[in-house]
Amino acid sequence: MLHRPRLPASAFLALLLFQSSPPVVAQDAPSGVSTPEDMAKDLAAVPCDDKDRLAAVRALYERAGATAPDITMDQHDNVENLVVTRKGASPETIVIGAHYDKTAEGCGAIDNWTGQVALTHLYRTLRDIPLKKTLVFVAFGREEKGLVGSKAMTRDLDTTEAAGTCAMINIDSLGLGPPQVADNMSSKKLARFAGELAKELEIPFAHASIRNANSDSSAFVAKKIPAVTIHGLNKDWSSILHSKHDQAAKVNPVSVYLGYRLALAMIVRLDASACDAYRQ
C-alpha cells in the first residue's frame, strides 16, 4: 500500500513547489512524490495494440489508488474518455488530460503513453492531499483522429461549467527532452506561467511550438478556458512519432519525470489561485 505523507497539507504542498534541484528529488522527495524509477516500470509496460490502451490506462489508475467509484467512462457516440475525479473543497475545477489512443504504427510509447503515465503519477501524488479545487483527470480518446474526445468533453460544458473550469493542463509526448510548452496550442497567460514556474523550480524548459500539429488543449482554448500543452520532444521527434520507431526503448524516464514535476507544481499553484487568474 502506498505510504501517504504525514506532513500537514500546507507544508507538503510547499515542499512540492519549492524543493530544490528537481532532477535529484528521487533521493529526498516527500513521501508520495514519484521518482524516475517509479515511472520507468509503467513506461516499459506500454501496450502496443490500440484496443488494449483504455484497459491499460484504467489499470494504471487502479495501481495509483483509484477505486471503481472514482473512475467513470464519459461515453459519446464515437469516443470514450476515461475520467477520474478527485474532489476538492470547491466545485471549481482543474482538468489534467492526456490522450490514450495511438496511430497505427509503433507502440505509441512517446505519443502518448508517456502522458498517461505522467497523469496517473500526478493522481497518485495528489490523491490524499486536501485541495481547494476539484481535479478532473481525463484520458482522451481519438485525439489522433481530430481531438474527438476533448472536443466532445468541451462541447458538453455549459456556460456555468466552462466558467468553473479554471485551467486545463494537457500532457502530450514527453520522453525525448526537457519539458516544453507548445505555444500554438496554449493560452498565452498559462504558457507564460509555466515558464516562470519552471525557472523558479530550476527545471530545464523551453517554448517550442509544433508546426502543423494540434493537441487536446486546443479544444479548451477554443472554449476560452485557459489551457496549456506540455511536451518533451527534441529535434528527432518527427522521425519517431507516428512511426514504427515510437517504442518504449526511446523513452527517457527523466524527461517524463520532469514533465510530471512541472505539471505537479502548476496544479499546486493553480489550486491556490483565483479561478480566473489566467483567463485572457
How many angstroms separate the CA atoms of 144 and 137, rounded? 19
| Residue numbers of the chain with a pLDDT score lower than 70 | 1-31
Cell of 142: 481519438
At residue 53, the pLDDT reads 97
At residue 16, the pLDDT reads 52
Rg (C-alpha) for the chain, rounded Å, is 17
Strand runs (DSSP E) across the chain, as ranges? 71-75, 80-86, 93-99, 134-140, 165-171, 180-181, 206-207, 227-231
At residue 31, the pLDDT reads 55
- DSSP character string of 164-187: TEEEEEEE---SSSS-EE-GGGS-
At residue 280, the pLDDT reads 84
How many angstroms separate the CA atoms of 250 and 114, rounded? 11
Q: Among 260, 233, 105, 100, which Cα is nearest to 178's?
A: 233
Residues paired with 168 in a beta bridge: 95, 227
Number of other residues whose CB lies within 10 A of the CB of residue 278: 21
Taking phi over 0 as left and psi of -120 to 50 as alpha, with beta for the rest, 106 belongs to left
How many angstroms separate the CA atoms of 110 and 251, rounded? 6
Domains and CATH numbers, the chain: 31-272 (3.40.630.10)
At residue 1, the pLDDT reads 32
At residue 7, the pLDDT reads 38
